[in-house]
Each structure stands twice: as C-alpha cells, then as structure tokens.
C-alpha cells in the first residue's frame, strides 16, 4: 500500500507544485478544476486518476515525476531521450561531451563516498542521470551515423 500512497504523493506534487496554476492544467487536460483537485486528495476522500489522464497531466504540468516513480517501482530507470542535432563532423563533440559528464560523475561519486551527505547524494544522482542521458544521446547519434554508412560485410 505504501507504493500506492507514494504515487498519490507524486500526483499531488505534479498538480500542486509546479509553475502553472491548477485551472490552466485542468483546461489543458480538458477536465474541471474540481476533478483535478480530487485526483490529488488522499485515497479515502479523493478519487483515483484514470490512466488515460496521467499522460495529459504530466504533459500539461511538464512534470514526469510520476512516470519516473512508476518506472522505479518496477525496477527500471527512466531517461529522457535528448534531441541530438549534430552534423557529420560532430563526432568529436559527442565524445568530448560524454567524456566530460562521465568524469564529472566519477568525481561526484568520489565526493559522495568520502562524505555521504544529502547535498552530495543529490549531486551524484544528478550527475549519474546526466551520464545516462548522454549515453542515450550518443547511442542515437551513432545509430544515425551507422545508418548513413554502407555496410561492406
């Protein structure tokens, strides 16, 4: 039951703790403000949000914490696929960027293991997420590069 309550907490945060007002989010989702408020309430008094409403909610609020939380519960890591606008000569930039974020993550790991404080914990999590995003971006780039190459084998 704890994981469900955590999801309700993420829904509450998505609805109430963002830059857009609730009425604007509700309008973008095509539902009433009252319905949106009910989705954020704790279980006995609130209503469950239908699955078909989760994606419009996350898009309207520009907050994908619910999706990351669900992925984590299921044992997966969610990483946004970055847009890579690179031309043929940019392979050095891809390698350089990947190397820089990887080195920064290693430094943050070392700092965390030397002093496991909450700020160091948050920093290393952020750095590791950045490495994963860069990995996905590099993979997307090399897929495009490979598609443009003629296979000789």
The answer, as to whether pTM is greater than 0.75, is: no
Distance CA 129, CA 96 (A): 17
Give the model's pLDDT for residue 4.
57
65 contacts: CB under 8 Å, gap ≥ 6: 10, 13, 14
pLDDT tens-digit profile, the chain (153 residues): 455 568 888 898 899 888 889 999 999 999 999 989 888 887 666 678 888 999 999 999 999 989 988 988 898 888 877 766 555 557 888 888 899 999 999 999 999 999 999 999 999 999 998 999 889 888 888 888 888 765 555
For 110, other C-beta atoms within 10 Å of its C-beta total 12
Distance CA 142, CA 147 (A): 8
């Amino acid at each position: 039951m704890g994981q469900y309550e955590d999801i309700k907490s993420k829904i509450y945060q998505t609805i109430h703790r963002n830059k857009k007002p609730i009425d604007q989010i509700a309008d973008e989702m095509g539902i009433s403000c009252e319905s949106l408020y009910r989705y954020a309430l704790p279980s006995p008094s609130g209503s469950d949000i239908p699955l078909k409403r989760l994606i419009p909610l996350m898009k309207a609020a520009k907050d994908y914490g619910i999706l990351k939380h669900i992925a984590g519960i299921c044992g997966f890591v969610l990483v946004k696929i970055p847009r890579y606008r690179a031309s043929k000569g940019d392979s050095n930039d891809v390698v350089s960027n990947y190397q820089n974020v990887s080195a920064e993550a290693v430094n943050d790991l070392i700092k965390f293991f030397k002093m496991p404080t909450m700020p160091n914990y948050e920093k290393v999590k952020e750095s590791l997420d950045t490495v994963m995003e860069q990995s996905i971006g590099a993979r997307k780039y090399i897929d495009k590069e490979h598609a443009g190459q003629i296979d000789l084998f």
